[in-house]
Structure 1
Amino acid sequence: MNLFSNTIDSLEQALNYSSLKQKTISNNIANVDTPNYKAKEVVNEGSFKSALDSSMNAYRTDQRHYDFSQSNATKQVITQKNVQYNNNGNSVDVDKEMSTLAENQIYYNAVTDRIGSKFQSLQNVIRGGK
């Protein structure tokens, strides 16, 4: 039995994604002067399919239509290859990393705000609306 909706699980996955992205970005920034270091980025595969409910079934009239079966979304850290910004073989673009860091911070703040309000609602229900 699922006591809570899947919202808390989804928000937990969003926090894990944001945390992994934060670690990857900070690792890139820390290695900005390391020769031959290749920048890494986090790729969230299958987010469309993971957002769908596993009980949802669709009638497919064509093989090219999406299959709505449940699959686990995987988050991978990939290395950007064949890219070079500096003469020493380093591919870290500090301006891009800083803007991605700010974007990730806004995303993290939104998710933590949403999960906080979710727990506040649960606390309100437990207290009986007082």
Structure 2
Amino acid sequence: MFGSVSFDAMSSALDALSLRQQTIADNIANVQTPGYQARRVAFEDALKSAVARGSGQVSATVGVSVEPTREDGNNVNLDTETVSNIDTGLRYQLASQAMSNEFSQLRTAIGNA
């Protein structure tokens, strides 16, 4: 189980989703900061490729958003951040439930051994 592609993929996804939640919080905190450029966390494509290669270990990358800026040079869109936060929270819940199921299966297997 540990070291399996699914375990590594779920672990990588949880780490990346946690980073995305922090990044969204940083973006929202800076919504009124002149010149602040929103940041985006990417990992899904890298994770998909890693799983296809038989690995699940990836690191998320943080980049700058290419959304248009306001007159003050800030490009944080509160609506976009709110939707992204909800989406990320739901994905995190799903991934953590999948990990919980993996551990539950392991506990059952150990208990029956």
Q: TM-score normalised to the size of structure 2?
A: 0.86
Amino acid aligned to 1:30: A
Q: Deviations over 1:83-129 (max 9, x none)?
A: 21x33111000000000000000000000001001101100111118
**2:80 aligned residue (96, 99, 110):** 96
User: Are the aligned partners of 2:9 and 2:47 in contact in 1 as well (CA < 8 Å)?
Assistant: no
CA gap 1:73/1:117 in 2 versus in 1, 3 angstroms = closer
Q: TM-score normalised to the size of structure 1?
A: 0.75
CA distance in 1, matches of 2:48, 2:31: 33
CA distance in 2, matches of 1:4, 1:82: 38
SS of the counterpart of 2:72? coil
CA gap 1:89/1:7 in 2 versus in 1, 3 angstroms = same
Cross-structure match for 2:61: 76
Larger Rg: 1
Aligned residue pairs: how many? 112
Higher relative contact order by CA 8 Å / sep ≥ 6: 1 or 2?
2
- Aligned residues: CA RMSD: 2.3
* Higher share of residues assigned helix: 2
Q: Unpaired segments of 5 or more residues in structure 1?
A: 55-69
Give the ranges of 4+ consecutive aligned residues of structure 1 lying more than 3 Å apart after TM superposition: none
User: Are the aligned partners of 1:49 and 1:73 in contact in 2 as well (CA < 8 Å)?
Assistant: no
SS of the counterpart of 2:60? strand
SS of the counterpart of 2:27? helix
Q: Unpaired segments of 5 or more residues in structure 2?
A: none
Q: CA deviation at 1:49?
A: 1.9
Q: CA deviation at 1:53?
A: 3.8
Cross-structure match for 1:52: 52
Identical amino acids, percent of aligned pairs: 26
